[in-house]
């Protein structure tokens, strides 16, 4: 006669790492990194902490897995178009993912960064290669792009956390813009002139403009592979 599995054993076997990570993502979205505890996760999954520890060693590993799951999902689709189009699509996908899951910005550190960085670097790096950037510049150019993408996205997420869900963004920017306009004329001559631009700017559009600036810089400062070197101008006697 076959042995009958106990309810606790069946529950443990049904509890996959994927289910745990999905539940962790939901907890992080609702309560942030501080709300991700094994007690809360146990309640969400209707199981005991021991069953979770069978799949995940600690909170750091769980945060790394949740971060990697969000990034992997974002990078799953292959964008269409030119290498420039693909860079924009990849960048915007990561920006939107971090905007939707602000905790990802904090998760891209330590062990979580070690697990996730190759995914991002590979996707962006392939486009850098296809742009015709010489091989000996691949690492630097890809690093600059990745640093801008993640840095700008993280700053946007941080700003959203500072403001909180109850603060009206337009009212906040209007108040800051007014403060800028009232700064000392001589000491803040430039800042006063762009106060109105700051009031009306769109974070997402500004981010994409930054990507275009980086791409333009790559096009003008990094000689594409196969492009002939222009001869030096003859000196005038």
Contact 108, 67 (CB under 8 A): yes
pLDDT for 225: 55
Q: Calculate the alpha carbon distances from 99 to 36, 96, 134, 138, 211 in Å.
A: 19, 5, 33, 28, 17
> Residue 64: in which H helix or E strand, if any?
helix 59-74
Contact 106, 57 (CB under 8 A): no
Query: How far from each other are the two terminal CA atoms of the chain, in whole angstroms?
Result: 104
Q: pTM for this one?
A: 0.81
Residues 147-175, mean pLDDT to the nearest whole number? 83
Q: Where in the chain is the domain with CATH 1.10.357.10?
A: 78-221
Q: What is the CATH number of domain 78-221?
A: 1.10.357.10
pLDDT at 8 over 90: no
Fold of 8-56: Arc Repressor Mutant, subunit A (1.10.10)
pLDDT for 109: 62
Q: Where in the chain is the domain with CATH 1.10.10.60?
A: 8-56
């Amino acid at each position: 006669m076959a042995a009958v599995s106990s309810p606790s054993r069946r529950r443990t076997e049904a509890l996959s790492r994927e289910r745990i990570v999905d539940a962790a993502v939901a907890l992080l979205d609702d309560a942030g990194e501080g709300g991700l505890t094994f007690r809360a996760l146990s309640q969400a999954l209707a199981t005991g902490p021991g069953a979770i520890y069978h799949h995940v060693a600690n909170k750091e590993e769980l945060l790394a897995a949740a971060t990697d799951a969000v990034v992997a999902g974002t990078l799953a689709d292959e964008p269409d178009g030119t290498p420039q189009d693909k860079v924009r699509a990849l960048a915007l996908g990561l920006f939107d993912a971090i905007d939707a899951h602000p905790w990802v910005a904090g998760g891209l550190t330590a062990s979580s960064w070690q697990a996730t960085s190759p995914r991002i670097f590979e996707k962006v790096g392939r486009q850098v290669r296809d742009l015709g950037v010489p091989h000996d510049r691949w690492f630097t150019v890809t690093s600059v792009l990745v640093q801008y993408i993640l840095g700008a996205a993280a700053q946007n997420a941080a700003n959203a956390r500072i403001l909180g869900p109850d603060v009206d963004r337009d009212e906040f920017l209007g108040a800051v813009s007014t403060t800028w306009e009232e700064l000392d004329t001589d000491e803040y001559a430039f800042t006063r002139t762009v106060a109105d631009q700051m009031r009306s700017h769109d974070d997402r559009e500004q981010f994409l403009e930054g990507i275009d600036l980086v791409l333009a810089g790559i096009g003008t400062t990094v000689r594409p592979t196969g492009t002939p070197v222009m001869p030096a101008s003859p000196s005038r006697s």
